[in-house]
């Protein structure tokens, strides 16, 4: 019952702060008007202990008890001031994300600045119940706060808010600020599947020709990728306990590969997209030219990091638009 009441009060407090502050834009400086501070559980116990000490000092008219009580109360007030000041003035300049696939953690990088002349201590960032902390930030320093957020499905991941807080110096108070900045990250489909990639590609005239995998010049060994011919596997090296390697053969002509959704034989849309994702990653690893064909979206064959990101993004967002089949 207490947990339900606490969660309800927290939701109402977040909604009230959102109406009060509105949407935020980066870079954002945390000023006094958007910092909230309350005693922690330890701070509440500390306050109750001070109240008990005050009652005992009044009951026995003990001057030493009064002095100790007022000294500890003054210490709490000074701690509250330093806790609030430790967060005031911090600037959140940018938010970026690293590449992530569904089921793996998404790493967010918050670019922050400490423009003040005093160091900051024990700053904590919270995003979707995931918490990370920094021990110390020197004055006039730009720093990164990295936090890993769990992912469960492909697509565009939106985070409504994040919390920057501190309990410095004594843990008696917690000062925090809600940031309602637009945080979005693209989560790619999880690469999976054991279907071999297609061995034909469309040429410039629209006809189909065999994909030359290279049967002439030996270039070395590479890691095995599902779909490689068993005849090219280095079985002798594998039998001696080595990794599973494949002979990489070069050819004068290599036609681009076309990865079409309709060519994948797997149960369910997610499994088919996962297979396409695996093909794209394997083709990019081997510097092959490839393209992706989805209903109402065809990406011409190309190569390179930008083309890889474009293909993976198309697979991640497929089905989120009314134009997708």
The 10s digit of each residue's pLDDT in 308-324 is 999 999 999 998 754 44
DSSP string, 66-114: HHHHHHHHHHHHHHHHHHHHHHTT-EEEEEEE---BTTSPEEEEEEEEE
Number of domains the chain is built from: 2
Does 91 share its domain with 150? yes
Q: What is the model's pLDDT at position 201?
A: 43
Q: How far apart are the first and last CA of the chain?
A: 46
- What the block records as the tokens of 278 is 């695996």
Residue span of the structural domain in which 157 resides: 23-187
Least confident of 9-23, 91-105, 261-275: 9-23
Contact 148, 105 (CB under 8 A): yes
For 259-312, write each residue's pLDDT tens digit. Answer: 998 889 888 899 999 999 999 999 998 888 999 999 888 999 998 999 999 999
Per-residue pLDDT at 150 exceeds 80: yes
Q: What is the model's pLDDT at position 50?
A: 96
Distance CA 32, CA 277 (A): 47
Q: Is residue 8 part of a domain?
A: no
Does 180 share its domain with 67? yes
Q: Is residue 325 part of a domain?
A: no
Does 310 share its domain with 254? yes
Distance CA 206, CA 225 (A): 28
Which among 187, 212, 227 is the end of a domain?
187
Does 77 share its domain with 182? yes
Q: What is the model's pLDDT at position 200?
A: 55
């Amino acid at each position: 019952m207490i947990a339900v009441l606490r969660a309800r009060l927290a939701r109402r407090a977040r909604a009230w702060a959102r109406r009060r502050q509105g949407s935020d834009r980066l870079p954002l400086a945390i000023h006094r008007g958007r910092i909230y501070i309350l005693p922690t559980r330890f701070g509440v116990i500390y306050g109750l202990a001070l109240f008990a000490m005050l009652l005992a000092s009044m009951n026995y008219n003990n001057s030493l008890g009064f002095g100790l009580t007022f000294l500890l109360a003054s210490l709490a007030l000074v701690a509250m001031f330093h806790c609030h000041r430790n967060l005031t003035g911090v600037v959140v300049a940018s938010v970026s994300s690293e590449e992530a696939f569904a089921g793996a953690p998404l790493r967010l990088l918050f670019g922050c600045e400490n423009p003040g002349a005093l160091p900051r201590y024990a700053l904590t960032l919270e995003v979707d119940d995931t918490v990370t902390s920094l021990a110390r930030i020197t004055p006039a320093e730009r720093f990164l706060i990295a936090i890993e957020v769990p992912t469960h499905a492909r697509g565009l991941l939106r985070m409504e808010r994040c919390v920057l807080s501190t309990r410095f110096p004594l843990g008696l108070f917690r000062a925090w600020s809600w940031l309602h900045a637009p945080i979005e990250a693209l989560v790619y489909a999880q690469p999976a599947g054991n279907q071999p990639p297609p061995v034909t590609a469309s040429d410039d005239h629209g006809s189909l020709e065999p994909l030359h995998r290279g049967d002439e010049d030996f270039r070395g060994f590479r890691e095995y990728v599902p779909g490689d011919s068993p005849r090219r596997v280095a079985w002798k090296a594998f039998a001696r306990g080595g990794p599973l390697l494949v002979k990489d053969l070069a050819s004068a002509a290599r036609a681009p590969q076309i990865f079409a959704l309709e060519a994948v034989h797997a149960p369910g849309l997610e499994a088919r997209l996962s297979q396409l994702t695996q093909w794209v990653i394997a083709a990019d690893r081997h510097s092959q030219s490839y393209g992706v064909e989805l209903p109402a979206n065809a990406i011409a064959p190309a190569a390179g990091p930008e083309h890889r990101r474009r293909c993976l993004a198309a697979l991640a967002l497929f089905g989120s638009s009314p134009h997708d089949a």
